[in-house]
Amino acid sequence: MTGKKHNWLLYALVTMITWGIWGAFSDQPDYPATLTYVVWAISMIPCALVALWNIRFKLDVRRKSVWLSMGVGLLGAGGQLALFEALKYGPGYLVLPMISVAPIVTVVLSALFLKERVSKLGYLGILLAFVAIVCFSLSGKTDESIKSYLWIVFAAVVFISWGIQAFVMKLANNHTPDAESVFVYMAVSAVLLIPAALAMTDWSVPVNHGWNGPWMTFCVQILNAIGAYTLVYANRYGKAMIVAPLADACAPVISCAISLVLYAHVPSPAQIIGIVSAISCVLIFSRE
């Protein structure tokens, strides 16, 4: 896969669409969350092979490239494992809003250390992206109870990890000659954490091995992997302080649209505001 600088939005749109479809169907498979992580890590392998094919298997093996790219993967995958722990102790309606605004970390780090700048209209787009993110994260169920305030600690780990991840992804892209190498090392780091996910699994509960278990999970998670792949390209050619909030803000719009068609799910007022904000920020960023 090749691309020019002005194609960053196209790659970001592919990420939004694949993550949107993934979000709409991610609750369908009857499979434990930790084992879903294992399947997701495995689904990264086919995409990594495509990446290697694109660069004729000439992987960048310079030490700094390896460490930065592995750091991207470990921050993302490690944050995912921390999210499982956060949801054990606290309800999703508290955990998800806290971690959803992780791109604010990316924006601050990119402005301070990468010296990224956007126009005044661009800053409005970033603001609208955060409005959309918050609106979607606040529109879930609120009938869960708090088991322990440890959820705050684990949610904070996710918030920091995912916020830094997008920043490090930009650093890796700046240092590495191709985006494909960055993604391959991301896939490797995800696979390396599979033993941790297996250790966190409650094996006392029966595991569904049928079609709507691991097989359906793979079909859903491969969309997540594809979105991560194109996100690396979007981050390479675009500004991290724009790409990160844009991807997180707009994917739920696709999920909401699919839910409306398939499940006759009527968007809540918060979701409607989120949809309008997300579409508006896409239109603004298309002019950046």
Domain count for the chain, please give it: 1
Out of 104-108, 155-159, 248-252, which region has the weakest mean confidence (pLDDT)?
Answer: 248-252
> Has residue 77 been placed in a domain?
yes
Mention every residue, 6+ apart, whose C-beta is less than 8 A from residue 232: 169, 173, 179, 182, 183, 186
Position 138 confidence tier, pLDDT thresholds 50, 70, 90? confident
> Has residue 3 been placed in a domain?
no
Tell me the percentage of the chain whose pLDDT exceeds 70.
94
* pLDDT tens-digit readout, 34-56: 999 999 999 999 999 999 999 99
Inter-residue contact 268 to 139 (CB < 8 Å): yes
> Has residue 1 been placed in a domain?
no
Position 3 confidence tier, pLDDT thresholds 50, 70, 90? very low
pTM value is 0.90
Position 266 confidence tier, pLDDT thresholds 50, 70, 90? confident
- pLDDT beyond 60 at 5: no
Inter-residue contact 138 to 97 (CB < 8 Å): yes
Nearest 5°: phi and psi at 210?
-80, -170
Identity of residue 271: Q
Position 288 confidence tier, pLDDT thresholds 50, 70, 90? low
> Has residue 99 been placed in a domain?
yes
Q: What pLDDT is attached to residue 285? A: 85
Tell me the percentage of the chain whose pLDDT exceeds 90.
70
Domain carrying residue 200: 8-285
Can you tell me the distance from the alpha carbon of 158 to that of 137, in angstroms, rounded to the nearest whole number? 15
> Has residue 113 been placed in a domain?
yes
Determine the average pLDDT of the residues in 217-231: 97
Q: What pLDDT is attached to residue 2? A: 46
> Has residue 178 been placed in a domain?
yes
Average pLDDT, the chain: 90
Can you tell me the distance from the alpha carbon of 90 to that of 47, in angstroms, rounded to the nearest whole number? 33
**CA-closest candidate to residue 140, choices 87, 176, 184:** 87
Q: What pLDDT is attached to residue 139? A: 62
- Radius of gyration for the chain, computed over Cα atoms and rounded to the nearest angstrom: 18
Tokens of 185: 């090392």
> Has residue 15 been placed in a domain?
yes
Determine the average pLDDT of the residues in 186-204: 96
Q: What pLDDT is attached to residue 98? A: 83
Can you tell me the distance from the alpha carbon of 78 to that of 162, in angstroms, rounded to the nearest whole number? 9
Can you tell me the distance from the alpha carbon of 255 to that of 39, in angstroms, rounded to the nearest whole number? 21
